[in-house]
Amino acid sequence: MTEPLAVRELAAALDAADPLAAKRAEFDLDPAVAYFDGNSLGAPPKHVAGRLAAVVREQWGGRLIRSWAEGWWDAPVRVGERIAPLVGAAPGQVVVSDSTSVDLFKTLVAAVRANPGRDEILLDAATFPTDGYVAAQVARLTGHTLRRVPLDELSAAAGERTAVVLANHVDYVSGRLHDMAEGTAAAHRAGALMVWDLCHSVGAVPVRLDGCEVDFAVGCTYKFLNGGPGSPAFVYLARRWQETFDQPLAGWAGHADPFAMEAGYRGAAGVGRARSGTPDMLSLLALDAALDVWDDVDFAVVREKGLALGDFFFRCLDEILPGADVPTPRDHARGHQISVRDPGGEPVMAALHERGVLGDFRPPDVLRFGLAPLYTTYAEVLRAVTTLREVRESLH
């Protein structure tokens, strides 16, 4: 099918005026593919491969074991400092360490230990599954009760029994953006601590951890931060909780003097206390390189374009697929993805992949289209909606 002329002309005009247009050239993207899965795996910046090859050849290969004392050991904190501005954190509060699931486990246990005398963990009812799995295990291991509640009901649900609230900043299915300031304030009014999962918001929407007085947060780096498959996650540990952060995975990397080889554990000062095991240096340094793309970016411009891409996606749906079932909010209370419900489910997304439009599918019937402002174009948005209509017509 041919795109409506007015929408095609609008896409071209928006791309021509895009202040981030030059950023796309910094990514290694197949021009034949329209990539809408940066909310699951970000595209690689072109320079990362060369940087990582140099790490292997010159640091691992050339300096060998000496590299640990020449920048490797301190890299989790150093790279954390590069992420801190992207989550609204002052220096000294973000460290890159382990996976999201491991970081969430460490943080949740430390949070319930920091708020004794309360026996309940409240969990975002629509949470990403791994958050629910981890929270259930933390509750079982610490003797707490786990209760799932819709975030809209948080203010009424949190009470004197609530030790910790765990919530997703952006809902992974619908793309809805939750109010971090109000959610945190509601938890605090009840005397609870607040843990936010930033996996679908970091690198996409403005995050103000310090400004919202958040206690703890975790986030991944392989989505909108483009750190690569399996790149390590990060922990935000508000300065006021650092010296009492009592985490359960007391590994040597979080020790006050890891090379003293002491028999007993003494937690490191500051945010380094959230570290556990030996860092995965190749992935960590690939992430470090990938973060370079943010050095000259105004995040307000990123947010403005992300919302504009979403608005244009809705415009295309209205003109090309009127009546589409879209759970993503039309107002700007959303992250940078548009979700469309389709009864064809996974085969529809598979057909889109065959036609070079790469989004993803979430059961039972949600097609997700991630909008990465650093490289997604308006023309690609139009292509996605046009191709979705073609697929629907061919399958039904």
Q: Can you give the three-state secondary structure of the chain, one letter per residue? A: CCCCHHHHHHHHHHHHCCCCHHHHHHECCCCCCEECCCCCCCCCECHHHHHHHHHHHHHHHHHHHHHHHHCCCCHHHHHHHHHHHHHCCCCCCEEECCCHHHHHHHHHHHHHHHCCCCCEEEEECCCCHHHHHHHHHHHHHHCCEEEEECHHHHHHHCCCCEEEEEEECECCCCCEECCHHHHHHHHHHCCCEEEEECCCCCCCCCCCCCCCCCCEEEECCCCCCCCCCCCCCEEEECHHHHHHCCCCCCCHHHECCHHHCCCCCCECCHHHHHCCCCCCHHHHHHHHHHHHHHCCCCHHHHHHHHHHHHHHHHHHHHHHCCCCECCCCCCCCECCEEEEECCCCHHHHHHHHHCCEECEEECCCEEEEECCCCCCCHHHHHHHHHHHHHHHHHHC
Query: Can you read off the two tokens belonging to residue 258?
Result: 């890891």
Q: Is residue 43 part of a domain?
A: no
Same domain, 281 and 245: yes
Of 98, 103, 171, 197, catalytic: 197
Q: Please indicate, yes or no, whether residues 183 and 128 belong to a single structural domain of this protein.
A: yes
| Residue 301: inside a domain | yes
Dist. CA 314–CA 89, nearest whole Å: 33
Whether 378 sits among the annotated catalytic residues: the reply is no
Domain residue limits at 261: 50-294
What does the pLDDT read at residue 2?
Answer: 59
Question: Does residue 177 come out as left (phi exceeding 0), alpha (psi in the -120 to 50 range) or beta?
Answer: beta
304 and 338 fall within a common domain: yes
Cut 0.85: pTM above it: yes
Is 85 inside any structural domain? yes
Is there a domain that residue 40 lies in? no
Determine the Cα–Cα distance for residues 155 and 184; give it in Å rounded to an integer: 10
Binding residues: 100-101, 128-131, 197, 200, 222, 252, 278
Alpha carbon distance 11, 6 (integer Å): 9
Q: Is residue 37 part of a domain?
A: no
Catalytic choice (8, 51, 119, 128): 128
**128 given a catalytic annotation:** yes
Q: Which of 236, 266, 294 is the last residue of a domain?
A: 294
**Are residues 249 and 333 located together in one domain of the fold?**
no
pLDDT value at position 5?
A: 76
Q: Could you tell me if residue 280 is inside a domain?
A: yes
* 208, two tokens: 């103000």
* Shared domain check, 184 and 229: yes
User: Same domain, yes or no, for 274 and 356?
Assistant: no
Statement to judge: residues 90 and 169 lie in one domain: yes
335 in the same domain as 253: no
Q: Provide the number of structural domains found in the chain.
A: 2
The one catalytic residue among 223, 273, 305, 383: 223
Parallel, antiparallel, or unpaired: how do β-strands 337-341 and 360-362 relate? unpaired
Residues 280 and 387 in one domain: no
153 and 61 both lie in a single domain: yes
| pLDDT for position 261 | 93
Question: Quick one: 276 and 370 in the same domain?
Answer: no
> Looking at residue 345, which CATH number applies to its domain?
3.90.1150.10
Asked if residue 156 is part of any domain, the answer here is yes
pLDDT at position 395, please?
A: 84
**Active site (annotated) includes residue 28:** no
Last residue of a domain, one of 294, 329, 345: 294
Our answer to whether residue 259 is catalytic in this structure is: no
User: Residue 26: CA atoms inside 13 Å, Cβ hemisphere, count?
Assistant: 20
Q: What is the pLDDT along the chain (396 residues), one digit of tens a residue?
A: 556 779 999 999 999 999 999 999 999 999 999 999 999 999 999 999 999 999 999 999 999 999 999 999 999 999 999 999 999 999 999 999 999 999 999 999 999 999 999 999 999 999 999 999 999 999 999 999 999 999 889 889 999 999 999 999 999 999 999 999 999 999 999 999 999 999 999 999 999 999 999 999 999 999 999 999 999 999 999 999 999 999 999 999 999 999 999 999 999 999 999 999 999 999 999 999 999 999 999 999 999 999 999 999 999 999 999 999 999 999 999 999 999 999 998 999 999 999 999 999 999 999 999 999 999 999 999 999 999 999 999 986
Which of 254, 275, 294 terminates a domain? The answer is 294
Pair (131, 270) in one structural domain: yes
Nearest to residue 226, comparing CAs of 171, 293, 280, 160?
A: 293
The confidence score (pLDDT) of residue 1 equals 53
Does some domain include residue 42?
A: no
Establish whether 325 is a catalytic residue: no
Q: Which of 176, 273, 368, 383 is catalytic?
A: 368
- How many whole angstroms separate alpha carbon 281 and alpha carbon 98? 11
CATH number at residue 287: 3.40.640.10
Q: How many CB atoms lie within 10 A of CB 69?
A: 11
Q: Where is the binding site for pyridoxal 5'-phosphate, in residues?
A: 100-101, 128-131, 197, 200, 222, 252, 278
